[in-house]
Chain A
Amino acid sequence: MTSNVLITIICDVISFIITAWLLFLNVRHGKKHDTLDRIFSGMLIIILILAVMDAVVAVFGFHVGYDTSITEMLFATGNETMTTVLCLVWMIYVNYRLYHSRDYIMRRFLLVTMPLIIILVLTMVSSVIFHGTGVLKAARITAVFFFALVALRFIYFLVSVFRLYQYKKQSGTMRYFKISFLVIPVIVTGLLGLFVDGAFRVTGYAVGFGLLYLTIYREQILTDPVTGFYSGRYSKRLIALSEKNDVSVGSFMCFKFSDAAALEGFAPKLAGLISQDAYVIRTQPDEVAVLTVVSEKSLVHMIIEDVRAVSGESGMEVCASYDLRQKDESAKEFLTRHFPL
């Protein structure tokens, strides 16, 4: 066994262990965004498969050529294809993370996956057809399809970057804050898929997704596990970020319920009554604060009206409503009391 093969196997084994552990954690801890969990688990499974295939290719010396067996050809082709599939799923993950919309993904699903399916089929077919012919042109034809697979990775990477850019342009600083942690993983994994080969690519993916998982997990521990609302610690980050960037967090509404159980019962309804871009924070067991990213009195008025109309017998009362841009003494005092920075 050469040193190259040994290094490859070690890298693949490390990648396998890291990824299997991440998959175990992700499945075990069961987060609120089920679709995102499933997509993330899917990506980890693809990395596991990649690690195995890469190790097999390295150990047995599989390669694509007119003098190799069909099994070798298919293994080597499959290895390259799985990386492109990973880039595709990563693009779907980024889209879903940004817009939380299955409709957007399903409407374009066939359009997005068809090129990959076509190229994969053509690559496999040409590999098999031209195998053993000894014809150099055949090898070149197959190489074109391999190149197409790499080009597809580039397209998926570009789409992910474009979507992030589009979201930032449309949403502004405070909304972008929610997904800004995606930027570096997107760029790093995209570049890995294009410029790095073999075991180092797989290891890079495993480490990259490990870092991504840490970010997601960090967000989870800033989330109240029962209601899914952010905890008070998250709001401190938010307010600090808004002050640092001189961006207004907007308006602040506080709803107090008769007790924690009443709040937890009302929590599923609250999400549908506020705007999508608002932050909902559980400040006390029986109290919720809603932060809007714009200071629009009519929006505050609508939210309070709708929450009151739906609150029913939860004993809810509106205990505060501030325009944070005014920065008056009562707003400052309330913020300091609930979110000491």
Chain B
Amino acid sequence: MKVCAINEENMDEFASILGQDMAADLERVFFRGLGVKNEDDRAVGALVYELIGSESDQGTKSFIRLLNSDSSETFGLMEKAYSHAEFYDDKIDQSFYEVSDEKSAGEYKSVGFSVENRESDHLRITLGDLAGTEFAKKRKVPDHIRYLDELSLMEYRSAVKDFLAKGQKGMLEDLAYLPSSWFDRDISVCSTADDRVDGMFLVRATPSGVLIPMLYYAYGPYYAKNLFFMLFKSIERAMDKYPAETPIVISRIKKASRDIVSKILPTARGDNVFCGVRQET
């Protein structure tokens, strides 16, 4: 068996293991992929991780997004290639993981990760779950709340620069490198003042049809109202565009996200997961 880096040339060989969403993410700047092929040159395992904070001086963290292996030998090969940085020269200080089953958590534990059993920071709901909430009711939204597809390229780029200058990039380490078309421009919205964007709610529609809010931030004296207006407008359009069973994954890592979600869906709970961390340096 041999380990290799997953790139454009061999992505198709690992497609069935990666899934279409992870394959799309591997094209992003801070995603890395390692794969294992057996003696028959067939893909038998893949490890995908995302670098977080690599452009800051706070140390680089790595979040393992996928670790799929057919055997403990495959797992071991990928883990060794990862921890020894055999294919990528990123200096990782800490690694994190989150899995839903205890067996996988046990495999992580065997290579030095901690294990904690708790509620996931990611909330999985459907669009239909939002239908009965206060935020799904029709209401008048001011004209300065616009859809992303109404912004020009330079307006979008100016907005991204302003947000980066304020240290706001939501869940997107690579916000600067993503075109506006990476988001669902029909349901992503922004607030504007004096022809300048001062708030954005960016939603990604993955290839498999999952909606993931990626950035939700506004600034200026009326930021609080604009945040709610953007949410109203986006949910309204999403209800028209997608069926009720469309899955939505909401990250609640930041306090602001937790506060908003607890307002919209006070009784919703995340799945039970196993997660942990390992120091690399």
Contacts and interface: CB of A to CB of B under 8 A. Distances in A.
Interface string A168-209: 001100000000000000000000000000000000000000
Contacts of A273: 158
A277 B175 CA distance: 18
A299 B57 contact: no
B176 A301 contact: yes
Interface in A284-315: 292-299, 301-303, 306
A99 interface: yes
A275 B222 contact: no
Contacts of A336: none
B219 interface: yes
Given A104-B193, A272-B154, A306-B157, A299 B221 contact: no
A295 B196 CA distance: 23
Interface in B132-160: 144, 154, 157-158, 160
B162 interface: yes
B194 A275 contact: no
A224 to B, nearest CB: 22
Interface string A84-102: 0000000000010011111
Contact of A166 (B158, B165, B167, B221): B221
B166 interface: yes
Interface in A233-264: none
Contacts of A303: 161
A302 B160 contact: yes
A301 to B, nearest CB: 6
Contact of B165 (A99, A104, A170, A299): A299
B194 A100 contact: yes
Given A101-B194, A277-B165, A277-B166, A299 B220 contact: no
Contact of A294 (B167, B192, B194, B223): B167
Contact of B222 (A104, A292, A295, A302): A104
A163 B223 CA distance: 12
B164 interface: yes
Interface in A99-155: 99-104, 107
A274 interface: yes
Contacts of B39: none
Contacts, number: 77
Contacts of A299: 161, 164-165, 176
Given A104-B221, A298-B175, A276 B157 contact: no
Contacts of A5: none
A338 interface: no
Contacts of B175: 298
Contacts of A302: 157, 160-161, 164, 176
A170 B168 CA distance: 12
Nearest to B177: A298
B221 A95 contact: yes
B213 to A, nearest CB: 21
A182 to B, nearest CB: 15
Contacts of A318: none
B174 interface: yes
B185 to A, nearest CB: 19
B194 to A, nearest CB: 5
A107 B226 CA distance: 13
A36 to B, nearest CB: 14
B193 A275 contact: no
A278 interface: yes
B153 to A, nearest CB: 10
B209 to A, nearest CB: 29
A38 interface: no
B9 interface: no
Nearest to A275: B165
B240 interface: no
Contacts of B174: 298
A332 interface: no
Contacts of B164: 275, 294, 296, 298-299, 302
Nearest to B173: A298
Contacts of B176: 296, 298-299, 301-302
Contacts of B161: 274-275, 299, 302-303, 306
A278 B166 CA distance: 10
B161 to A, nearest CB: 4
A297 B196 CA distance: 23
Contacts of A32: none
A278 B158 contact: no
B55 interface: yes
Contacts of B160: 302
A292 B160 CA distance: 14
A292 B194 CA distance: 22
9 contacts: A101-B220, A104-B221, A294-B165, A294-B167, A296-B167, A296-B176, A299-B165, A301-B176, A303-B161
Interface of B: 55-57, 144, 154, 157-158, 160-162, 164-167, 174-177, 192-194, 196, 219-223
Given A103-B192, A276-B162, 16 more contacts: A98-B221, A99-B221, A101-B193, A103-B194, A104-B193, A171-B166, A272-B158, A275-B161, A275-B162, A275-B164, A276-B196, A277-B162, A295-B56, A296-B165, A298-B174, A298-B175
